[in-house]
Structure 1
């Protein structure tokens, strides 16, 4: 605990993904006090042409009231 599932358009390098994951990990550690070993992060690439159908309509829209950060699109 916790597990973060991050979805983004393709094009981010593996090095960038590792830096993103480490920064997210550091924030979680800072604010929860959990050890690094407790944190897991998945980064999945979703093509722009299917984003609305696969991510927005299935995950974001039905859960919009639960989101701590809502999209602006």
Structure 2
């Protein structure tokens, strides 16, 4: 029963968000063998000016050693 939480910088349309949710669901079905009926996907819009404070510092930075994909940006380059 996968539940995915995707945090995105604001600005994506509802169509794009639905496409992302559908693609993540399909990947979980195809790769992980999940039942599509048991997959849920949440998408949270985050203002880029709040990214460091709300996403990078509390979520990404502490998890860096275990991330399967690390961000390609430096936190000091994010807007404040």
Same fold (TM over 0.5): yes
Give the number of equivalent residue pairs: 73
1:18 match: secondary structure = helix
Higher relative contact order, structure no. (Cα contacts within 8 Å, ≥ 6 residues apart) = 1
Within 5 A, what are the aligned runs for 1:1-73? 1-73=1-73
Give the Å deviation of 1:72: 1.1
List structure 1 segments (4+ residues) > 2 angstroms apart after TM superposition. Answer: none
Give the Å deviation of 1:38: 1.1
TM-score, normalised to structure 1, is 0.95
Give the Å deviation of 1:34: 1.4
Using the alignment, how far apart are the partners of 1:32 and 1:9 within structure 2?
A: 27
Structure 1 residues not aligned, in runs of 5+: none
Q: Over aligned residue pairs, what C-alpha RMSD do you find?
A: 0.7
